[in-house]
Structure 1
Amino acid sequence: MVDAARAQRLAKRITTIVASAIGTEIKDPRLAHVTITDCRVTGDLHDATVYYTVMGESVDAEPDVAEAAAGLAAATGALRSKVGAGTGVRFTPTLRFELDSVPDATRAMDELLARARAQDELVARAARDARPAGDADPYRHDDAPEGEVGSGEPDVE
């Protein structure tokens, strides 16, 4: 029987334990810029997928994702032991680490939104200087005399 609420609670606890262990107890320099973002646990509580991101050392530096993945692979046993001790469940879930794609997708969406805003600004600038092709008010009004349209100017034929 699958208990989704229990799986979510366990995933949250695993996220906390792994993030804390990486930050304070695991002394691998390859994990210095790793951030744990999420965790998903299967319904039977036997497998956990831990999502992580890697930040660069500086603003313009590319993060070394391969080194971080190698560091996480090397620390998986120690991290699983910490999860087992910290959760108290009968069977400690296996840990699988996956690079989180959400930051990259967010960055791509931000770039798309910036391009859309720039295009909107160009359209607004063109509309600001534009003039209507016909009369300012091309519709007939009930109060206008028979031969006149909109602004009171006579109909040109």
Structure 2
Amino acid sequence: MQTQQKAESDLLRIYGRMITIGLVLVIMAVIGAKYFFTLPQIAARGLEVDHARFLNVLVMARSQWLSLGKPPQLQLNWEAFDNSAKETEPSVVDVNGLGWPQPKQLNGQGCQDLWQQLMGAEVDNAGLVADYLVKDNSCHYRSHNGDSLGYQLNSGRVIFLTAP
């Protein structure tokens, strides 16, 4: 009789462990699903974050331009905090008469280069496509999800538009 009770006790312990493991797996599955379903939403906000950074960099560049006596060019030096990164030479960006950074060429490649100079990152790495719009005299950066950022070269105005 004692062996019967021991066997039943062992069986109940095993069932209890199986139920516990099952509950833990269900909880992990729910948390994992929520995490993976929110990743695209977080990734889609990339240009929104870059918008704020772009505005800050433009204001810093213009402030530097004013403090240096309004030179026609600014020397920008974005240092990486990574010790393994080799020393980069400072980039020189042209500035218009109002102090707003300008691309060297008025085309898509010039806008790509301007983004790289100001943001310290390639347009491709940010998942953006750069175009130059002649009618507005502006650089237009578009993300894969349809959000866009426009930088008007004459006035320094930055317009952020979200996809519908």
TM-score (structure 1 length as normaliser): 0.29
- Structure with larger Rg: 1
Greater relative contact order (CA < 8 Å, ≥ 6 in sequence):
1
